[in-house]
Amino acid sequence: MPETKQPRARLLKRFALLFVVLLVLFFVIDDVIMPRYVQQGKTTKVPNVLGIPLDDAIAVLADSGLIGKKSEERQDKQFPLGTVAQQTPMPGTEVKFGRGVYLTVSGGEPQAMVPSLRGRSVRDATFALERVGLSLGSIRYEVSSEFPVNTIVEQDVPESTTVSVGKPIGVLVSQGASKEQVPVPDIVRKTLTEGERLLLQTGLKIGNVVYQANPDLLPNTIVEQYPRAGEMVPEGQAVDMVVTRRTERRPSNLR
What does the alpha-carbon distance between residue 34 and residue 178 come to, in Å, rounded to a whole number? 88
Q: What is the pLDDT of residue 254?
A: 47
B/e letters for 190-200, b = 16+ CB within 10 Å, e = fewer, are: bebeebbebbe
Could you count the other beta carbons within 10 Å of the beta carbon of residue 241? 23
Q: What is the pLDDT of residue 236?
A: 82
**Where do runs of H (alpha helix) occur along the chain?**
2-28, 34-39, 54-63, 122-131, 192-202
Give domain 110-179's CATH architecture: 2-Layer Sandwich (3.30)
Q: What is the pLDDT of residue 4?
A: 53
Q: What is the pLDDT of residue 211?
A: 94
What does the alpha-carbon distance between residue 245 and residue 255 come to, in Å, rounded to a whole number? 23
Q: What is the pLDDT of residue 64?
A: 92
Q: What is the pLDDT of residue 220?
A: 94
Q: What is the pLDDT of residue 231?
A: 79
Q: Which residues of the chain have pLDDT under 70?
A: 1-9, 23, 26-41, 178-180, 248-255
What does the alpha-carbon distance between residue 175 and residue 255 come to, in Å, rounded to a whole number? 54
- CATH 3.30.10.20 domain residues, the chain: 37-108, 110-179, 183-249
Q: What is the pLDDT of residue 128?
A: 94
Task: For domain 37-108, give the CATH number.
Answer: 3.30.10.20
> From 3.30.1240.10, 3.30.10.20, 3.90.15.10, 3.40.50.300, which CATH number describes the 183-249 domain?
3.30.10.20
Strands 205-213 and 168-174, sheet pairing: unpaired
